Chain A
Amino acid sequence: MNPALVGVALAVVVGAVVAGSARNARSAILGLVVTMVAAPVLAEPTPAPLALAARLVGAVLAGYLLWIATRGDRLQTQGSLVGWPTEAFLAIAAAVVGFGSHGLGAPTDGPPLAAAAGFALAVLPVVTGRDILRIGLGLCLLLGGALLVRVSLGGTPDALEELMTAGLVATLGGAVAILAVAARTDGRPGFELSSTTTRRSSHGANAHPRGPR
């Protein structure tokens, strides 16, 4: 087993545990960026330089957009529902399952470590907190997990697929960032979900406005 890949897999999982459990919003985002930057390297052979560069740009862009969305004085999120040690053990257990079931019944072109890290990432969103930012970070982890499982099964994606992956990662980061910013427009500091549902007024609220809102 390639020791460098073991190190990368560890970085991916540790970053994911931080992203899933840190209460400080920017610490969680930092953990996510570590995961997203390291994940593309967790492949054998490593992607072509241009494809890898695209993935790194996508990951950093997603992280940067989330970073902007969490401007403020030590913005807090709900953190983990079960605490970081439990998350870490859960991730390790999932990684063992992923490593052991590598290939899911058939020979593969990818490394088993990608399957281990992918399973670990995919299980963490289950126990993450339930505010807008945490759900968003959990979805980033879930997507990262699915992409790693894909690498473990099908091997290193070609350049076009890496480009599409980079676009998807950046789009997801941007979408979560926009929602996080929108959530704070009511002046409240956190990212809690709204307890009320906005309902369209039945009587002419949408009709004949002055212009697009």
Chain B
Amino acid sequence: MSLVVFVVVAFTSAGLALGLRARPMATASLGLVGLVATVLAAVAIDPAQAVVVGHSGLATTSYLRIFLILGSLVGLGLTVAGLAAGTRRDAAAVTLAILGASGLTLGLVDPRAAVLVATAGGLFGVLVTLVPTDGRAGATIGIRETRAVVVAGALAIAATAWFGRDLSQLAAQPVVFGLAYLAFAIAVAIRFGAIPFHLWAARLTDVVPETSLPILMALAPASLAIVALAWTDASVAPLLVDLDPARAIVLAIAIASIVLASVAAFVQDDLEQVLGYSIVGDAGVVILALATLDPEAWAPTRTWILVFIVARSSFAAWTAGIRAGFWTGRVEDLRGWARRSPVLSVAFALVVIASVGFPGLVSFEARTSIVELALDGPMATLVLLGTLAPLAYYGRLLWIGLARPDRILEPIDAWRPRISPPDVTAMRRWLRTTWNANRAFSTASVALLLGVLAVATSAGAFEAPAAAAGLPPSLSIPSEDVAPVASGDLPEPQESSAP
């Protein structure tokens, strides 16, 4: 089955890259090869396959395929950007492992199994929290991340188990339904670092390379959110019980994340903190979708999740480009960045278009639908305006970028590629010199490419909206492993001998 191939490629590459971690360049090269292989494996996924294992199994969908293609592409782009701008030796392996876990999570038919893999996927991230110069501080942040992932996993396991049985003889009060729904929604909120569960995520931005942040804070939790959405639509939404108290709590978390994360991003002085809070803010829209309890939110939410992952990744690549080009991540020190790097300026414009959007753009319409399904009246208008709050921190960055530079570190044409004539007698040295001379340009170029990908996803390219409207994985798809049984081979009906 094509999904199994993807998962095997991702986990094998991750394992090999980790095995070679004592040799940083070898592990980086192997990671890059593995990420290229995952892109190819994701493209090769057949979106209508199923494999039965016991009473459960794995199934592929068009949405799963697009999710993994986009995830692998941004993983590859961010890894290249990280190599140019500075990253951890395990970043590529972590990206591969999270991609493998995401593929498995989205392919598993049973949500009780899917939440287990989504939890394991979150745990791989601890590897990039380890700081080479201060292991204890990195481990402290790592164990807090682990705590968030495991607590979220425990909540999701309990919630899916409570619903995953015959409830026809139920004697419980509706409050128990509300608690199960609330547990899963809070699990998703914890994984995204939504406000008020954001402290671990805020500390994460202090140690994790910017190019790994979207993988840990957006891609890995997104697979759990998709499972939660499918589970909510199938198990909770059809119930005729009053879930308003639990729903109100989820709404409060979502609105707080959308609004307060944008405020936090606006006041932060480090680009990585701005990036981290921007991820939290956009994740608030996903949590808002969990509060709709309306199957109508299924397609727009899954579309938004794709845009969310790609747009945040392109913003991360832009952040890495700024660091590589200007040697700083402090916002106040970036005066004139937009005047000095046309490539980063275009990339920034693409990031803003992809993440904020405008009426008519698929991502904008998806976000508007989610808000209108979750809320009514003036509150919906206010929250809709709140989703445009990222314009404030983007505006601040642009304002700083257009200001007159207060210090000159690099020549005015430093953003351009610098390629000296190749030395055929020492190609390796020439390659190394060229790579080192073009780190800033390489990172900016990756940011530009990811920006284009983000705008394309926002505009509904790759048939993403149609795939997002498709059904969740199901074993009812004709399986490649289950051959039709000839009617002559079926056992003859026998008369019952029961009294």
User: CB within 8 Å of A: which of B118-166?
Assistant: 119-120, 123-124, 126-127, 130-143, 146-147, 150-151, 153-155, 157-158, 160-162, 164-166
Task: Give 1 or 0 for each of B19-51: 1 = CB within 8 Å of chain A CB.
Answer: 000001101100000000000000000000000
User: CB within 8 Å of B: which of A45-92?
Assistant: none
Are B206 and A200 within 8 A (Cβ)?
A: yes
Identify the closest chain B residue to A152 (Cβ): B161
Given A146-B157, A185-B135, A186-B134, the answer on whether A105 and B120 have CB atoms closer than 8 Å is: no
Please tell me which one of the listed residues B28, B89, B110, B150 contacts residue A142 in the complex, with CB atoms under 8 A apart. B150
Are B116 and A165 within 8 A (Cβ)?
A: yes
Give the distance to chain B from A167, nearest Cβ to Cβ, in Å: 6
Are A206 and B151 within 8 A (Cβ)?
A: no
Are B88 and A105 within 8 A (Cβ)?
A: no
Identify the closest chain B residue to A192 (Cβ): B136
Given A161-B113, A202-B328, the answer on whether A135 and B143 have CB atoms closer than 8 Å is: yes
Chain B residues, Cβ within 8 Å of A188: 136
Bound CA–CA A199/B158 (angstroms): 36
Are B138 and A212 within 8 A (Cβ)?
A: no
Are A136 and B328 within 8 A (Cβ)?
A: no
Please tell me which one of the listed residues A149, A153, A178, A200 contacts residue B270 in the complex, with CB atoms under 8 A apart. A200
Are A197 and B176 within 8 A (Cβ)?
A: no
Are B126 and A179 within 8 A (Cβ)?
A: yes
Q: Which listed segment binds B: A12-20, A28-36, A106-114?
A: A106-114
Given A104-B172, A105-B171, the answer on whether A179 and B142 have CB atoms closer than 8 Å is: yes
Judged by a CB distance under 8 angstroms, whether A176 is at the interface is: yes
Judged by a CB distance under 8 angstroms, whether A198 is at the interface is: yes
Chain A residues, Cβ within 8 Å of B381: none
Chain B residues, Cβ within 8 Å of A167: 116-117, 120
Are A132 and B140 within 8 A (Cβ)?
A: yes
Are A145 and B126 within 8 A (Cβ)?
A: no
Chain A residues, Cβ within 8 Å of B151: 139, 142
Bound CA–CA A65/B140 (angstroms): 19
Judged by a CB distance under 8 angstroms, whether B112 is at the interface is: yes
Bound CA–CA A55/B441 (angstroms): 49
Are B162 and A158 within 8 A (Cβ)?
A: no
Give the distance to chain A from B173, nearest Cβ to Cβ, in Å: 7
Identify the closest chain A residue to B156 (Cβ): A146
Give the distance to chain A from B205, nearest Cβ to Cβ, in Å: 8
Are B150 and A206 within 8 A (Cβ)?
A: no
Are A202 and B329 within 8 A (Cβ)?
A: yes
User: CB within 8 Å of A: which of B257-315?
Assistant: 269-270, 272
Chain B residues, Cβ within 8 Å of A105: 170-173, 176
Are B146 and A149 within 8 A (Cβ)?
A: no
Judged by a CB distance under 8 angstroms, whether B87 is at the interface is: yes
Are A203 and B330 within 8 A (Cβ)?
A: yes
Judged by a CB distance under 8 angstroms, whether B472 is at the interface is: no
Please tell me which one of the listed residues A106, A109, A146, A207 contacts residue B324 in the complex, with CB atoms under 8 A apart. A207
Judged by a CB distance under 8 angstroms, whether A3 is at the interface is: no
Bound CA–CA A164/B100 (angstroms): 13
Given A198-B207, A208-B439, the answer on whether A136 and B146 have CB atoms closer than 8 Å is: yes
Are A200 and B127 within 8 A (Cβ)?
A: no
Most chain B CB atoms below 10 A, which of A135, A159, A212: A212
B contact residues vs A (CB 8 Å cutoff) = 24-25, 27-28, 53-57, 82-83, 85-89, 91, 104, 108, 110, 112-113, 116-117, 119-120, 123-124, 126-127, 130-143, 146-147, 150-151, 153-155, 157-158, 160-162, 164-167, 169-173, 176, 203, 206-207, 209-210, 269-270, 272, 323-324, 327-330, 333, 436, 439
- Some 11 contacts from A to B, beta carbons below 8 A apart, are A150-B160, A157-B113, A159-B54, A175-B142, A179-B139, A179-B142, A198-B206, A200-B272, A207-B324, A212-B83, A213-B132
User: A104-B162, A139-B146 given. 9 additional CB < 8 A pairs?
Assistant: A105-B176, A106-B165, A107-B166, A122-B154, A160-B56, A164-B108, A198-B141, A202-B330, A204-B328
